Amino acid sequence: MLRALAAVVVAFAASALVLLVSGARPLPALAALVAGAVGDRFALTDTLLKTCPLLLTGLAVALAFRCGFWNIGAEGQLLMGALAATAVGRTTGAATFPLPLLAALGAATAAGALWATLAALLRVLRGVNEIVATIMLNFIAARLVGWAVHGPLMEAAGRYPQSDPVPTAALLPMVAGRVHLGVALAAALAAVIWALLFRTSVGFRWRVVGDNAQAARVAGFSPERAVLTAMLASGALAGLAGGIEVLGVTGRLFEQFSSGQGYTAIAVALLARLHPAGVTLAALFFGALAAGSGAMQRVAGVSAVFVAIVQAGTLLALLALEASRGRTIAAAEHP
């Protein structure tokens, strides 16, 4: 508990220092950050909307890491999901709700899973390092989105590198205000992933393979199959994140669609120690930080650069305290 307070105090003190350097008044700026994250209904909505993709990609990363597969590719899988959701949502939008929505979400899931499976196959069949493979696939996905919004998916007016809006029949219904159904779906999926990891034999195998692949092999579990299935699920989650972002928030695809959620997801998953419950909290925290930092710019006039530094500094403070704890444990285990 003391340590928790210390983490908050250190993070805020460091942020205050950064803000002082930037020439802003630290207290009003931090107050704006907090108010922008949780201060009122508008802020909470922002926080939830920003949490949703982080939660899904965070779960995707945590699941893959649990299976010992360093999936750095949530970003690319998210983009492929967004691309597929837009394409399918646009083409099936004339049908009655909720068919187009289900088709678009299904397409997003499948596209993400496919993208992740490519990396998994490269490792299982060819021994390609998955970190390299997933990063490269991220680049390819970003270029594919760029190509799509300049080419086949470009808006009819042809003015801006973005798609036309996805028809309403394919959009996620709103639950409250701007909060869409995808937020609830993501929260439910956190529980599903927990059950999958800890209450099914598939999840058991994933965890064993991630912990000790050779022991898994001896136990009769194929590490190759585990990696393939885990990446299928991981990619599906990340792809769904992209699909939900299109169908619930942006309503269309555009160039530079992701602001790096797939990478932030890695921090989310690691901070959560790869546990779905922790991922939920960590994603909320990052979502709140993102929402609050926007408000810090708008209300307190802190420049975007310093907002980014405050964000990164807060994360570092948390991770450092986590790491020091981890080291103490490691030292106790291996004297």
Residue 256 is a binding residue for another protein (CB under 8 A): yes
Closest C-alpha to 66, from 308, 289, 278: 278
Evaluate the omega torsion of the peptide bond into residue 28 and state whether it is cis, within 30 degrees of 0: no
| Between 119 and 296, CB nearer to another protein | 296
| Between 97 and 204, CB nearer to another protein | 204
CA quadruple 46, 57, 240, 280: dihedral, nearest 10: -60
Residue 193 is a binding residue for another protein (CB under 8 A): no
Per the CB < 8 A criterion, the answer to whether 137 and 131 are in contact is: no
Angle at 27 between CA 22 and CA 29, to 5 degrees: 55
CA dist 186 and 170 (Å) reads: 18
Q: Which stretch binds another protein (CB under 8 A): 4-12, 18-26, 70-78, 83-91?
A: 4-12
Q: Which of 207, 223, 238, 310 binds another protein (CB under 8 A)?
A: 207
Q: Which stretch binds another protein (CB under 8 A): 78-86, 125-133, 216-224, 226-234?
A: 216-224
Beta strands 174-176; 179-180: pairing state: antiparallel
Residue 116 is a binding residue for another protein (CB under 8 A): no
Residue 333 is a binding residue for another protein (CB under 8 A): yes
Q: Which of 125, 152, 191, 298 binds another protein (CB under 8 A)?
A: 298
Q: Which stretch binds another protein (CB under 8 A): 39-47, 73-81, 179-187, 227-235?
A: 39-47
Q: Which stretch binds another protein (CB under 8 A): 40-48, 75-83, 133-141, 232-240?
A: 40-48
- Nearest distance in Å: CB 162, another protein: 8
Residue 161 is a binding residue for another protein (CB under 8 A): yes
- Nearest distance in Å: CB 37, another protein: 6
Residue 320 is a binding residue for another protein (CB under 8 A): no
Q: Which of 277, 312, 320, 323 binds another protein (CB under 8 A)?
A: 277
Following DSSP, what letter does each residue of 39-94 receive, concatenated? ISHHHHHHHHHHHHHHHHHHHHHHHHHHTT----THHHHHHHHHHHHHHHHHHHTT
CA dist 295 and 225 (Å) reads: 46
Partners of residue 176 on adjacent β-strands: 179
Number of residues that bind another protein (CB under 8 A): 74
